[in-house]
Amino acid sequence: MVSVAATSVGRVNDSFGGFVPSSNWTRRDFLEASLKTGAVVATVPAALQGQTSKEDAVVAAGPNIEGTLPITLRINGNDRQLRVDPRTTLLDCLRETVVLTGTKKGCDHGQCGACTVHVNRRRVNSCLSLALMHEGEEITTIEGLGVPDALHPMQAAFVACDGYQCGYCTSGQIMSAVALLNEPCGPDDAAVKELMSGNICRCGAYANIVAAIQHVRKNV
C-alpha cells in the first residue's frame, strides 16, 4: 500500500526501500504522501494487539528477562504471580520482586536470622531457600503479622519491653519469637534463649527480647 502511494507521486528508491520525490512535487503532494504512510504504520500495532496470547499477558506482568520462570507465591494471604530467575532466593524475591522490605538481608549466609519468615507457620531463613521451592506454600512476612492499628501481641510486647535498638534485626527476631510460641519450649529464660540463638542482635538487646517473649507466653 505504501509502494502504491509512493509511486503515484515519486519513484521507488531500491537501496533503502523508500521513495525519492520527483522533481515536480509540490508541498501538498509531500504532505499527502506522508500522511498515507503514517496511517499504514499506525494500523500495524493495533492489529497485532488482538493477537496477544494469554501466555504473553502473563509474561508482560513480570520482567522480560531470558531464563526467568513463572511462579505463584502465596504471601501474606495473597497470591502473587511472578517471574523469577531459578537462582533467586526467597529473601531476594520478597525484597526485590515483591517489594516487601521488612524482611532484612543481614549476613546472607543463614547465620544472623534477620531474614526469618514463616513458611507454613514454621520459621525459615529466607536467604538459604530458593523462591521456586515454595510455590503453593503459605508464606508470612513481618508485613503480614500485624498492622500499626492492630499489632500482633509479640510486636506489641517488643514495643512495651523495648526489645530493639537499631531495629535492623527486629523483624527477624519477632518472626522467630512468634514461631517459638508453637514450638516445644521450656518455661524458663534459658529455654527461650536456646530457641532464639539463631537470631543475632548486634546491639545486645537480648534481655529485653527474652522479656518480651516471656510476656507473650504468659499472657496468650
Ranges of residues in the chain whose predicted pLDDT is under 50: 1-19, 39-61
Q: How far apart are CA 119 and CA 125, in angstroms?
A: 10
Query: Rounded CA gap, 31 and 25, in Å?
Result: 10
Q: How far apart are CA 119 and CA 103, in angstroms?
A: 13
CB contact set of 73 (below 8 Å; sequence gap of 6+): 79, 80, 82, 93, 98, 131, 134, 135, 137, 139
pLDDT of residue 64: 66
- Tens digits of residue pLDDT in 43-86: 444 444 444 444 343 333 455 678 899 999 999 999 999 999 99
Please identify which residue in the block is written with the cell numbers 508453637: 182
Helical segments of the chain, H only = 2-7, 27-49, 54-60, 90-92, 153-160, 170-180, 189-195, 206-219
- Length of the chain (residues): 220
Residue 20, Cβ neighbours under 10 Å: how many?
13
DSSP β-ladder status, 116-119 and 10-13:
unpaired
Evaluate if pTM is beyond 0.85. Answer: no
User: Looking at residue 66, what is its pLDDT?
Assistant: 82
Q: What domains are defined for the chain?
A: 2-51 (no CATH), 69-141 (3.10.20.30), 145-220 (1.10.150.120)
